[in-house]
Amino acid sequence: MENWLNLKGEVCAVTGALGGMGVEICREFARNGADVVLLDLDEEKVKTSAAGLADEFGIRAEGYRMDATNEDEVQAAVDAAVAAFGHVDVLVNTAGILRFSPMEDLPLSDFEAVLKVNLTGTFIASQRFGRQMIKQGRGRLVHISTAASYTPETFSGVYSSTKAGVNMLSKMLAAEWGPYGVRSNCVCPCFVKTPMSANFYADPQVEKDRSRLIATRRIGEVTDIANAVMFLASTRSDFTTGAEIMVDGGFSNMMGDLTAKPGGRRAYAENYLKNKGVALWTDEAGVKTPTDQ
């Protein structure tokens, strides 16, 4: 159904707009007819990217330099967006960083850097754009969190802790700003190919081993994340707020499947049925076992 998301003419701002997820999210907004505000640290590149989106999709787009951890820069971006478009309907917080380290070796400087970008930056951007949305009486906030906000991403320093903080921040905003017509939700990806994770998947064996952990048996793409963001950013999700949507191919449901049983979990269950005299089902081709089992 054309324009099912009802995003045509909406003004959608994206932090970290030059990152892997940010780029695809901006493009998906533009494909759906939304006007886009691109926010990132490199002023020249973000303006060039905005011009490219406008030319390709026939929408309006502006790019502004913005450090999400700098209150003055964030407020300047809000003011510029409102001056250019008259309002801002959506903010997507994608800006984030990660520093690998065992906890006993984690430098305080890395702890503070990740905390500042991932949590403080998300708060500042949400607060300043949120004030504008409160004035308007409407708005949607979408934050890129992670499945690792629920279970520790070991040896990744304070990353999981900051993203768990983002989840609670989103709930706080949803609860306090709901009466003003402002919604706040998180998207929680896991195992997605982005520039940040590209080196993981350069090794085919790593991709194969990781895929085995996922119910759908594939690594996610940035389009998978962008699609979830579009739903939460649209009026189609108007009764959804304070939620975290897992976009992880079912990885978070796999604990039981990954726990060993004698001979393998499927074989153990099949042998149980055979011992009871139960005939096992096969399809017309006589195949029922997944190829990776």
Q: What is the mean pLDDT of residues 148-177?
A: 96
Annotated catalytic residue 159: yes
Tokens in use for 17? 């707009």
pLDDT given at position 104: 96
C-alpha angle 230/241/224, rounded to 5°?
30
Instruction: Please report, for residues 39, 188, 217, 241, the alpha-carbon distance to residue 286 in angstroms, rounded to integers and kept in the order given.
Output: 54, 38, 22, 46
Tell me the pLDDT tens digit for each residue of 175-190: 999 999 999 999 999 9
Tokens in use for 86? 């008259």
Tell me the pLDDT tens digit for each residue of 220-271: 899 999 999 999 999 999 999 999 999 999 998 888 888 889 999 889 998 9
Tell me the pLDDT tens digit for each residue of 170-229: 999 999 999 999 999 999 999 998 877 778 888 889 889 899 899 999 998 999 999 999
Of the candidates 64, 150, 159, 180, the residue annotated as catalytic is: 159
In this prediction the pTM is 0.92
SS3 labels along 40-64 = ECCHHHHHHHHHHHHHHHCCCEEEE
What is the C-alpha to C-alpha distance for residues 233 and 229, in angstroms, rounded to an integer?
6
